[in-house]
Structure 1
Amino acid sequence: MTDILPIIYRDEYLVAINKPGGLLVHRSEIDRHETRFAVQLLRDQIGQMVYPIHRLDKPTSGVLVFAFSSDVARQLGDIFSRHALTKTYVALVRGFAPEQGIIDHPLVEELDKYTDKKARADKPAQEAITEFKTLAQIEFPFSIDKYPCTRYSLVQCSPHTGRKHQIRRHMKHISHPIIGDAKHGKGNHNRFFQEQFACDGLMLASTTMELIHPITNEALTLTAPLATKFTNIIRQFGWESALPASWITTQDH
């Protein structure tokens, strides 16, 4: 993994990068041994203070936005808290997922023993909604579970709420866990991708984000191409036509 973070958008108010999978956004008690964080790497790279606006799970790649000032950070934070933007993710999941659907399934907050010590453990489940559609499917003549063949789907997801691990938990909820998800996925399918396709890591990426620029009021579309390992799977499975060309890359992120 290179320490040069791919910048996908930059102006005088904000900057957006394509975060590599496996990189923390900022220091966390969850991974106390980690020494590399997107915030510090980006500050060092551009020689300027940056303020993180939102999070991506450590294993998730894709669009990550920072502000250059605390004032812009507050305005962007308001946009995110009101969900006044559109986020699009791509995921590779087990099974033949439905053509499309809306997962309306409240989620109990996942608490971490380090960072959530003071949080209430008895909080009620929070509203969580994810819209999805299936872009492509494939079947292999291998028996991994109890079925004679193994099926996989490429799914586009748009979360309407922002719960922790929402897409990962929602796809598991409808029995289509994401490949490479060590916590919410299926180990035998994760190992199959490692052994057959040399593909490890979480197959979930934030590919686009659409919002109104908080200062210029212009419509802003941020696009982060898929990492090489994800792109390689797309090509091997013959799925290139299922995705916009801007989502596919031959460069390593």
Structure 2
Amino acid sequence: MKDNYLIRLEDLVNNPTPRVPICLCLDTSGSMAAVEGACETTGETIYQDGRTWNVATGGIRRVDELQKGVEKFYEAIREDEVAVYSAEICIVTFDSKATCVMDFANLDRQEKIPQLRPTGDTAMGEGVTLALDLLKKRKQEYKDKGVDYYQPWLVLMTDGVPNGNPEQLNRAINRTRKMVDERKLTVFPIGIGNESDMSVLDKFSPGRKALKLQGMKFQEFFAWLSKSVSKTSQSMPGESIKLDVEGIKGWAEL
């Protein structure tokens, strides 16, 4: 089997279409096992991800709905005859550590999306740092092969309060803001549930406030995101693209 780095380079040679690099930076901390909907508490509690939770049975887990949303996102991109050749998706998860679970490559070459499993704390700074590093690396590969690309996208989704290294978090915030200000990055910070720290997410997004997901509308968000990717892939690199603000009402609390 070929090394992933060689596969990525081969993709750029075989398909010189301008690319839209997208990194999904997803919270997989223990709190993402929280359930919503029809559930019953057992009377037991558990301490996880920096706080005490009531143990419940039934309901729908946040992480399971997130998984379905990501899978729908991939399906929608694959069904778009333009975006399928332009979009490149990378998935970074963060819990007690940051992990790249799906690296950049042509979507046809990427394997099945790994199962997202909630565990540990919320090392958000470490997650964003890894995401930015991977976007930077992929951009350099585009440049080396003479492939045009659109402004990279960072989708940051979390349901909690960051409790990783505070210095790492501050560096990640400053680095993200600088890239956004220099028009080198488009960032979408999304809060999940009532425990998400929207004030921290706002810091990642100068000029546009972070948004909170309505309930468990992960699939609605990723449907909107796929349409935004499709619209971008049909434009010229460097062209200003207006987001579908009206469509945001279908999944975000405004």
Pairwise TM-score range, normalised by the shorter structure = under 0.3
- So what's the TM-score if we normalise by structure 2? 0.24
- So what's the TM-score if we normalise by structure 1? 0.24
Greater per-residue helix proportion: 2
